[in-house]
Structure 1
Amino acid sequence: YVFIVQKGYQERETGPESSVITKVKGVTQSSSKVWDVGEYVAPPEGGNTFSILTRVEVSPAQAMGTCPEGPSAVCSSEQDCVPMAMDVSSHGERTGRCVPWAGGTLRSCEVLAWCPAEGGSVSESLAEMATQFTVLIKNHIHFPRFGFSKGNIQAPESDYLKSCTFNTTSALYCPIFKLGFLVEQAGEDFAALAEKGGVIGVIISWNCDLDLPDAECNPHYSFRRLDPKGALASPGYNYRFAKYYNWNGTRTRVLIKAYGIRVDVIVQGQAGKFSLIPTIITLATALTSLGLGSFLCDWVLLCCMDKEQRYSSRKFEQVPPG
């Protein structure tokens, strides 16, 4: 079993050297604008981890000034607002004033910050066409111990990638996936994932028997969600970024809270090739475990050595009759 099934005659190497290059294509539309790949993909250079925006909460036209903090700093008097106080959950530095907020029905501590403070943002969905976005995942691996390299693209012609889509049986070496396909293969509902965000893992496994032709070493793809689904604390995946501009001489920004699908490409694998040393070790271990080691040694010494008579006389004791 160890020798045949587990290939105990092979020298093995795990954890190949790997490079991953990704590229996303597609256009979608929200309620206010058209989004192209330059806006909804981060980071833009395309590595083994990237995110695709599926929903945004926009806080437009923020400028540096003073304004009510909001629901996290409700107050009844200025004694509730410590001047110059700041914490990790606040939007800025408190001025010490308790000012009207929410149309005057409530009061909140005033802060020096980007105003108006985040909270009255507009939500926009980008998910309408997002399922049709295409993701190219270009992977190249190398096993340095054996000097073996291979990639996951084998194009019969130069424009092959312009018309193909990944298929396990007919297009294994066309690593172009639709975003909806990745989410579906991970067992997730696209609409729910796009609403709150999440992390999808694309696992590429290279398990190669280098005693066989190179064509037998092929990538195997699997997909699963990596972040905890249904977490009560900080569910999903989101982050913030800002776009700055000048408005009538005032530095102004648009703050965007982005929800999206993050894709992590994970490459793993192992390679094996015949080697004399592991073969000898495996055979010796097997023979010892079966109790044949001492038998073979005795047989060699008794039948194949020049001094077999001397060994026989020492191994076997002659008992006189009677």
Structure 2
Amino acid sequence: MAAAEGLAQGCWSAFWDYETPKVIVVKNRRLGVVYRAVQLLILLYFVWYVFIVQKSYQDSETGPESSVITKVKGITSSEHKVWDVEEYVKPPEGGSVFSIITRIEVTPSQTLGTCPEVSALLPAGLRTGRCVPYYQGSAKTCEVSGWCPVEDGASVSQFLGKMAPNFTILIKNSIHYPKFQFSKGNIEHGKDGYLKHCTFDEVSDLYCPIFKLGFIVEQAGENFTELAHTGGVIGVIINWDCDLDLSASKCNPKYSFRRYLGLGMPGSSFAKYYKTNGSTTRTLIKAYGIRIDVIVHGQAGKFSLIPTIINLATALTSIGVGSFLCDWILLTFMNKNKVYSHKKFDKVCTPRRSPGSWPVTLALVLGQAPPPPGPRSADPGQAGQALAALPPWLCPASAPPEQMVDPPEQTAGPEPCTPEPSPQDSTLADPRGLARL
């Protein structure tokens, strides 16, 4: 119990201790080089990366509000017919996601009835339980009831991609950053008929968002013929990164194109129905093509005082990492580490009793008030007795501060750096000095 009480009392007493830094000059060139190098690296990091590259002095907003309208133009043909926009663009509403059909498998003149199935894994109707001859050869298969003939047995493939690379796609986009009340679009205004005669060029026609389908596929790094046969998804990414500290003309869209692997248009099916001799007939179309996804993102920034102050304070605080690193090297790896520890850490006691008034108490804490009167004598013994008679709130003064250097080589000659003790520390360490105070 006594030990626990002593430990608790010691922790409680240490809780009210105050620590203040002590400045020590260490004459060591290697340690000084490390210290300045760390400070320089931290300074370069904050000046170049944080403030110039990241622009951390700005308030930012990501994800602008966006609206996209698209329109496709062009005519193409297959082996049996001519196709216009209303037939090969799905859906036709002109949204940010649409598909352009480049290959179809057509099963014409399907009627409701019974017929042989082609694949047992993909039944095209309800099985009747009868076994009937296959379409070709002497083999037999199950009979199904549904739209006949079935798709896999009578479909004809048609390629629409011969003229598809010349299809033009208008992508109209408008963005808005609500935090900064900033809006802008990707179409050049004030030029009559401009969009009728232009196509997109990053240098000369940045604000003419009319793209050829072949150009989009090429910029995505794909072969158009292969993609038109198998189908695929291409993203058109519009990036609006705007520094609003500059003029609005400096905020421009940047376009990029990317093929999304593993995604395609694996045979979207639709049918066209009509009447023949009073019975319902349909033409089944299974379509493959290129799906276009228009994706808009961006970030806007503008100067703000709060993030500037926060990042400046962080930079100034981080410079202190150099002192921490050098202190660790000094006290852990360098020679005379015990001497350095003794020089770096001092303990100063405060008075345990009040001398009577707060000005005197403050002066005693700061070490500026004279000690209680006592006999003055030149006798060293009497001086020692006078020092022993000092009140308990005066702690023995530490050794006088000095500039520390690495120990020199054992050569003849005087010490390279032996500074004189400061008058104030000498007075505090000397009884006679205390008497003179």
Provide TM-score, normalisation by structure 2.
Answer: 0.62
Larger gyration radius, structure 1 or structure 2: 2
Read off the aligned partner of 2:176 and give its amino acid letter: H
User: How do 1:1-322 and structure 2 match up within 5 A?
Assistant: 1=48, 2-70=50-118, 72-73=119-120, 89-119=122-152, 120-228=154-262, 237-291=266-320, 319=425, 320-322=428-430
Aligned mates of 1:227, 1:291 — CA distance in 2: 49
**Aligned partners of 2:53 and 2:184: how far apart in 1?**
25
Distance 1:315 1:187, change over 3 A: farther
Larger displacement relative to structure 2 (201-210 or 96-105): 96-105
Question: Relative to 1, partners in 2 of residues 1:179 and 1:314: Cα closer, same or farther, differing over 3 Å?
Answer: farther
TM-score relative to the length of structure 1: 0.84
Provide, for residues 256-305 of structure 1, a one-character-per-residue CA deviation record: whole Å limited to 9, x for no partner: 1111011111111111111111111111111111129x9xxxxxxxxxxx
Counterparts of 2:367 and 2:117, CA distance in 1: 95
Letter in 2 for 1:35: W
3-state DSSP class of the match of 1:4?
helix
Unaligned ranges ≥5, structure 2: 1-47, 324-361, 369-396, 398-423, 431-437
Structure 2 Cα separation of the partners of residues 47 and 250 of structure 1: 37
Following TM superposition, by how much is the alpha carbon of 1:250 offset from its aligned partner in structure 2, in angstroms? 1.1
**Amino acid aligned to 1:36:** D
Amino acid at match of 2:113: G
**SS in structure 2 of the partner of residue 54 of structure 1:** strand
Contact 2:265 2:291 in 1 (8 A): no
Normalized per residue, the structure richer in helix is 2
In the TM superposition, structure 1's runs of 4+ consecutive aligned residues that sit over 4 Å from their partners are: 313-318
Change (3 A) 1:34 1:282: same
| Distance 1:281-1:115 versus aligned 2 partners, 3 A rule | same
**What CA RMSD, in Å, does the superposition of the two structures yield over aligned residues?**
2.2
Residue-pair matches, total: 284
1:127-170 CA-to-partner distances (Å, cap 9, x unmatched) read 11111000000111111111111111013423111100000000
Residue pair 1:142, 1:149 contacting (<8 A) in 2 also: yes
Structure 1 gap segments, 5+ residues each: 74-86, 230-234, 295-309
Contact 1:30 1:126 in 2 (8 A): yes
**Which of the pair has the greater relative contact order for Cα pairs under 8 Å at 6+ separation?**
1
SS of 1:161's equivalent in the other structure is helix
